[in-house]
Amino acid sequence: MSKEEAVLLLVVSLGAFVIPFISKRLMLPSAVGEIIFGLIIGIFFKEAAESLTVIHFLGSLGFLILMYLAGLEINFERIKITPKKELLIYTFSLIIIILSSFFIVIYFDQPKINILIYLTIAIGLLYPVLKDSNLLSTEFAQSTLIIASLGEVISLIFISGFFMYFKYGFSEKTFIHLFEIYIFFFTAYIILKAFQLYSWWNPKKVFKFIKAEDPTETDVRANFANMFVFAALASLLGLEYIIGAFFGGMLFAMIFKKREEIQEKISSFGYGFLIPVFFIEVGLRFDIFEFLKKEIILGAVLISVTILIIRVFGAVPLLFSGFSLREVFAFPFALSMPLTLLVAISTLGLETGVIKEDYASMIILSALISGVLYPWLFKLIMRI
């Protein structure tokens, strides 16, 4: 390890430890504070960061764990017990968001990647906001999490489809890959059914995958094996590895209903160090002075406002649900903070060459704006 790499690793490690305390004092989400910290230290380590591998490796691993946890957090049992009428309304709300995203991009002739930006929904920031607001146990919060969970799955499908189209276009190779992906998920479905049957006959043996009291930490090993297997298979099928990690976590969530302990272990491991390193590394990739350019600021504000407006349209069907007027008014803000997936889109777009650095900077800045402003407005509305 070179001296530059050692110094940068030291600074990033200290930042990962200190930033949550500073972010809390400034009433910022930790992820926002970590990206800003990365932007600041990027002024001094920009050239060194581009040639060093340790930080990039840790950040990539953090990204992988972040997406695995996103899949693991989806509560399929809650979705199953949701009345069909409510589920239909929630689905219609998501369809409006998707169609509005396509319409705006096509009508105003915007870059196609904006479709992903506008329709993307994530629960990564929503969950802690609901928890901090003491709303997590309410019907509104549970319904919003169901919609966000469905939206996150749809978002990941669109993201994987978009980057596959960019890579192969409408060609024979695309359809071959689609068939391979179908086989992949069909096989995963068969494995799911086999695990369900096995767990029914051998509940004590399967229980160790979600609650292990032996020193070998079988549950953690099983989950990391699951994560890496799905990431590797996704790469072999021409998908981004993080898409595989997400669906790996989602599959585990479908198999094991009671998984709170293992979820807590992986969250502690991920959010304790590797995920903060990922967000810091995202900041390191960009030039902070790019964010101060007029066109970047205006573009980021426009993206953030458009995300909110689209979700206002999506909130209309909820008037026919059990939501109060205040909750319907707060709903667009709750779904307008997809910080983690916006960061993922900008990262993937930059790595695959879909977008240039200035547009990636615009997406990151819009993620920061929505990640700071919309949680605050959501909390304000729910307090009234």
- Report pLDDT for 313: 97
Helix (H, G, I), strand (E, B) or coil at 214: coil
The answer to which of 68-82, 93-107, 281-295, 366-380 has the lowest mean pLDDT is 68-82
CATH number at residue 106: 1.20.1530.20
Cα 288 from Cα 305, distance rounded (Å): 22
Number of domains the chain contains: 1
Indicate whether 26 belongs to any domain. Answer: no
- Average pLDDT for residues 29-58, to the nearest whole number? 82
Indicate whether 309 belongs to any domain. Answer: yes
The answer to which of 49-63, 192-206, 265-279 has the lowest mean pLDDT is 192-206
Cα 102 from Cα 112, distance rounded (Å): 9
- Report pLDDT for 319: 93
Half-sphere exposure of 297 (CA within 13 A, CB side): 6
Domain with 86, as residue range(s), is 75-259+291-383
> Length of the chain in residues, anyone?
384
Indicate whether 339 belongs to any domain. Answer: yes
Using pLDDT thresholds of 50, 70 and 90, give the confidence band for residue 27: confident
Cα 332 from Cα 373, distance rounded (Å): 13
pLDDT tens, position by position, 208-229:
555 555 555 677 888 888 899 8
Indicate whether 33 belongs to any domain. Answer: no
Mean pLDDT of the chain: 86
pLDDT tens, position by position, 107-117:
999 999 999 99
- Report pLDDT for 74: 81
- Report pLDDT for 56: 86
- Average pLDDT for residues 226-242, to the nearest whole number? 82
Q: Could you tell me the pTM of the whole model?
A: 0.85
Cα 33 from Cα 125, distance rounded (Å): 13
pLDDT tens, position by position, 352-380:
899 999 999 999 999 999 999 999 999 99
Tokens representing 205 are: 């043996």
- Average pLDDT for residues 77-93, to the nearest whole number? 90
Cα 146 from Cα 318, distance rounded (Å): 13
- Report pLDDT for 48: 63
Region for residue 361 given its phi and psi (left: phi exceeds 0; alpha: psi -120 to 50; beta: otherwise)? alpha
Q: Using alpha carbons, list the distances in angstroms from residue 384 to 134, 266, 370.
A: 14, 36, 21
Cα 223 from Cα 64, distance rounded (Å): 12
Q: Are 142 and 323 in contact (CB under 8 A)?
A: no
Helix (H, G, I), strand (E, B) or coil at 70: helix
Indicate whether 206 belongs to any domain. Answer: yes
According to DSSP, residue 1 is labeled -
Cα 170 from Cα 13, distance rounded (Å): 44
Indicate whether 47 belongs to any domain. Answer: no
Region for residue 321 given its phi and psi (left: phi exceeds 0; alpha: psi -120 to 50; beta: otherwise)? beta
Cα 279 from Cα 30, distance rounded (Å): 9
Indicate whether 29 belongs to any domain. Answer: no
- Report pLDDT for 373: 95
What percentage of the chain exceeds 70 in pLDDT?
A: 91
Q: Looking at the predicted structure, is the pLDDT value of residue 300 above 90?
A: yes
Alpha helices in the chain (DSSP H): 3-25, 30-51, 54-72, 76-80, 84-107, 113-119, 126-132, 139-168, 172-201, 203-207, 218-236, 241-255, 260-269, 275-285, 294-315, 325-334, 339-352, 357-383
Q: Are 101 and 118 in contact (CB under 8 A)?
A: yes
Half-sphere exposure of 23 (CA within 13 A, CB side): 20
Tokens representing 346 are: 């900008």
Helix (H, G, I), strand (E, B) or coil at 239: coil
Long-range CB contact pairs, 182-186, < 8 A, 24+: 184/233, 184/237, 185/247
Three-state DSSP string of 89-113: HHHHHHHHHHHHHHHHHHHCCCCCH
Indicate whether 306 belongs to any domain. Answer: yes
